[in-house]
Each structure stands twice: as structure tokens, then as C-alpha cells.
């Protein structure tokens, strides 16, 4: 979502951070393959067809590894709406699908489609495209040495996470809500706050079901590692203004999550927030000192 398309080392107190320690950053062959697929997205216009990729045997194997690990993790930690949407998503277990294959299925179900990205996308382009039914998705695959978590979006994240969401009319409408809210603002500051709401809902959202915390966010759904550590996260009460004021990191497991009381609560609260969100709302949030790390 931020304006970056390369893995960048993150340091803290002079020590290497999670991204810098990731095996994908130190593997020249992997970086060359990733770079070749990222290059396909340069100059790509939203809505244009994505080029086909001849995925390699090892890449399909990584896909199968994640698929097998996700099955029990989702049954244990995903909410009912996600499990139902996953049944409708028709994701192959044995191979990586092409963008046009995924997009054709999504268009038939909800009117959404994948549009090509090389990595993180600037907020205005990314959020704005949601209003028009396009989700920016990448084509490269995470490093095989760390298949259960990736510090950046990859094709596994986009298909297993967002592809599942966008096969569901309920979830697809939430993406459109965010897209319409993005069209109401002009300042980068307001867009940044809206991106935090997107992050803590559609990427890393959780909901309470029968007294248990269950995942619905795409970043959680596509990461067996994130799902398995869900019981160790700090779960905060649902507060969209607090989400807008809480910075997030894309390079590590999420330590803090916000729980909606139900899927209906999520839909109603997000719709109300997005309908009223504008530059003045963003300015009030910042002026009130709500933005924190």
C-alpha cells in the first residue's frame, strides 16, 4: 500500500529488523526472479490484462505447502463468513492460478477483478481502484524457505486472502466502501489515516464469534504463521478512530488487533465511518493527537 516495490532492510537500535533477516533478501536467484516479475508491472494501467506467468515447479510447490498448512489453521481460527467465502472462491490446491483465471471468477461473482501490481502501491492508486472494482495484485511467490509468512504481498497472499474476500458479496462491498471513502479526500494525510482503517480491517481484522476471536483479514488468512499466533495477540476493542490513529508495520507479525463484535457490526460501523470520512475528519483526528505508534 505504501509507495515501495522492493524489500527494504528495517533496523531498530542498530539491529537488523524482520525484513532484513528474511531469507528472500539474501538470495540472489530469488531476487532476480522476483525482480523479473515485478518488472512486468511497470507502466501497467489499471484494468489492463495481466501477462501470463510460467510458474516454476518450486513455486507451485511453495503454493501447495501453504495451501496444506492453511487448511487446519483456517478451520481453527477463521470466522464463518470467511470459511463460506473460501468455498465459493474455487482456489486450486495444486498450482498457482493466473490473474486472468482468478479475475474471471471474481467478475462473475462480485464484479471485482485483479489488476497488476509490482508490490506495495501508493495509497491514492490502491484505495482509489477499489471504488471501481479493481484490486492491485502481484504475481511473484514468497521465498520457499519461509512459506508460512511473507513481509510483503505475494501471489499467495493476494489469492488466498483477497481472492477469497472478493468472491464474497459481503466482503467485496467493504472494499468498495473504502474505495468510495478514498474518493472523498484530497490530502495525503487523510488517505494515510484511511489506509490504517483498511489495514486493521480488511488486512488484519478479527471478529468475535461465540466468545472466541476469529480472523477475517486477508493478511491473516494467507499466513498460517499469523493465524497460529492469533491467541497471543493483544486484542483491543473495536474503535475505527483508534485504528485511524494507530500506525502499523508491514514487516512483522501484527502484535495488536481490533475485534468487531460481529460481521454485521463490522459492516455497519465501517459503512458509517466511510460515509462521513473526509479531509476535515482526517484533520480533526490528527489535531486531536490521535495518531500514535
Catalytic residues: 157, 162, 203, 222
Instruction: Report how far apart, in Å, the C-alpha atoms of 28 and of each of 31, 149, 154, 232 are.
Output: 5, 20, 18, 34
Nearest alpha carbon to residue 61 among 97, 27, 95, 101: 95
Cβ atoms 153, 34 nearer than 8 A: no
The answer to whether 231 and 224 have CB atoms below 8 angstroms apart is: no
3-state helix, strand, coil in the chain (%, to 5): 50, 10, 35
Q: Of 62, 219, 74, 64, whose CA–CA distance to 146 is shortest?
A: 62
Amino acid at each position: 500500500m505504501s509507495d515501495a516495490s522492493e524489500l527494504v532492510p528495517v533496523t531498530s537500535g542498530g539491529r537488523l529488523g524482520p525484513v532484513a533477516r528474511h531469507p528472500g533478501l539474501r538470495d540472489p536467484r530469488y531476487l532476480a526472479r522476483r525482480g523479473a516479475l515485478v518488472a512486468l508491472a511497470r507502466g501497467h494501467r489499471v484494468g489492463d490484462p495481466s501477462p501470463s506467468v510460467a510458474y516454476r515447479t518450486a513455486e507451485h510447490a511453495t503454493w501447495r505447502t501453504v495451501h496444506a498448512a492453511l487448511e487446519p489453521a483456517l478451520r481453527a481460527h477463521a470466522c464463518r463468513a470467511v470459511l463460506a467465502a473460501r468455498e465459493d472462491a474455487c482456489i486450486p490446491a495444486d498450482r498457482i492460478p493466473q490473474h486472468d483465471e482468478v479475475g474471471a471468477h471474481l467478475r462473475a461473482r462480485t464484479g471485482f477483478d485483479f489488476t497488476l501490481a509490482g508490490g506495495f502501491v501508493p495509497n491514492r492508486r490502491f484505495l482509489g481502484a477499489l471504488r471501481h472494482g479493481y484490486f492491485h495484485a502481484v504475481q511473484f511467490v514468497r521465498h520457499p524457505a519461509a512459506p508460512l509468512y511473507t513481509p510483503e504481498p505475494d501471489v499467495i497472499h493476494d489469492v488466498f486472502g483477497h481472492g477469497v474476500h472478493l468472491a464474497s458479496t459481503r466482503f467485496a462491498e467493504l472494499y468498495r466502501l473504502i474505495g468510495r471513502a478514498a474518493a472523498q479526500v484530497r490530502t495525503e494525510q487523510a488517505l494515510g489515516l484511511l489506509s490504517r482503517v483498511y489495514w486493521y480491517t480488511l488486512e488484519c481484522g478479527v471478529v468475535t464469534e461465540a466468545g472466541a476471536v476469529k480472523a477475517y483479514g486477508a493478511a491473516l488468512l494467507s499466513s498460517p504463521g499469523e493465524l497460529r499466533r492469533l491467541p497471543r495477540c493483544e486484542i483491543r476493542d473495536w474503535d475505527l478512530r483508534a485504528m485511524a490513529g494507530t500506525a502499523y508495520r508491514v514487516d512483522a507479525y501484527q502484535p495488536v488487533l481490533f475485534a468487531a463484535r460481529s460481521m454485521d457490526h463490522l459492516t455497519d460501523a465501517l459503512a458509517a465511518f466511510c460515509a462521513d470520512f473526509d479531509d476535515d475528519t482526517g484533520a480533526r483526528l490528527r489535531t486531536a493527537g490521535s495518531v500514535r505508534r
